[in-house]
Amino acid sequence: METMLIDEKSPLELRFDQGGEVVVFDETITDGLSRKVTISNHTKLRWYWVMSGQNKYDLEFVTESGENIVRFLLLAGADKKLETTIYSRLISSHTVTNIHILSLVSDAGIIELNGTVQIDANIAKVKWHILEENIFLGSKGNIRWIPSLLVHSDDVEAGHAARIERVSDEKLYYLRARGIPKDDATVMMIESSVSGLFEGLEDEYQKKVLSKVMQLF
């Protein structure tokens, strides 16, 4: 399936109503942008996005019908700060939202993430799930995650999970025991997590993602 490329030159309001499955890779890097994405006509949207450097970007998803699968990678290098707001609104019955966020933070890096899910009244058979993974690559770093759930319906299947990890000698023990240097072992662990997040994305774009990850080391 061909991947659609989105960047700062793309419209700030996008509608996906063609039905079937649509894959998007978001390369937006301009600071201060806000974008609204609407999913309708039973479209299944898979949105991949990597945010790095030092900037602010806000995304709003409105699911009228269909399924919204979002995969975000946030990369905060040393002394860098990222700010983002993710707002997801489900307004019809039988809609699905699945959000997976992976944050990688180097020494003194900062990530501020505001995430809101709103489920409208008088709708049923709605599913949403958010998974947040945070990995600290150094001894310092700060991740501020402010989740908000606004539910106005009783017929909802929902879930939220969060994990916080630090790359430690204990976690690297198995790889180092096989003679792999510490730095190489760290990179292998991180690449494995990132590849899992972007599973299903074309190799061309996966290579772009991994090149951004390597800038943290």
Q: pTM of the full predicted structure?
A: 0.89
pLDDT at residue 169, as a whole number: 64
Q: Quick check: 215 pLDDT over 80? A: yes
Highest-scoring range by mean pLDDT, 69-73, 107-111, 143-147, 148-152: 69-73
The whole-angstrom separation of Cα 180 and Cα 162 is 30
Among candidate residues 97, 96, 99, the one with its CA nearest the CA of residue 85: 99
Lowest mean pLDDT among 40-44, 55-59, 137-141, 168-172: 168-172
Lowest mean pLDDT among 99-103, 119-123, 174-178, 188-192: 174-178
Q: Quick check: 83 pLDDT over 80? A: yes
- List b or e across 154-174, with b for residues whose CB sees 16 or more CB atoms inside 10 angstroms: eebeeeeeeeeeebeeeebee
Q: Quick check: 53 pLDDT over 80? A: no
Q: Quick check: 94 pLDDT over 80? A: yes
Listed in sequence order, the DSSP H helices in the chain are 169-177, 182-197, 203-214
Q: Quick check: 70 pLDDT over 90? A: yes
Q: Quick check: 72 pLDDT over 70? A: yes
Residue type, 130: I
Which value, in Å, is the radius of gyration of the alpha carbons in the chain?
A: 18
Neighbours of 138 (CB within 10 A): 14
Binned at pLDDT 50, 70 and 90, residue 44 comes out as very high
Q: Quick check: 90 pLDDT over 90? A: yes
Q: Quick check: 171 pLDDT over 70? A: no
The total number of residues written for the chain in this structure: 217
pLDDT at residue 28, as a whole number: 87
Q: Report the pLDDT averaged over residues 85-90.
A: 92
Asked whether 128 and 100 are in contact (CB, 8 A), the reply is no
Give the full edge-to-edge strand order of the sheet including 96-105: 3-6, 21-26, 43-51, 66-76, 96-105, 126-136, 156-166
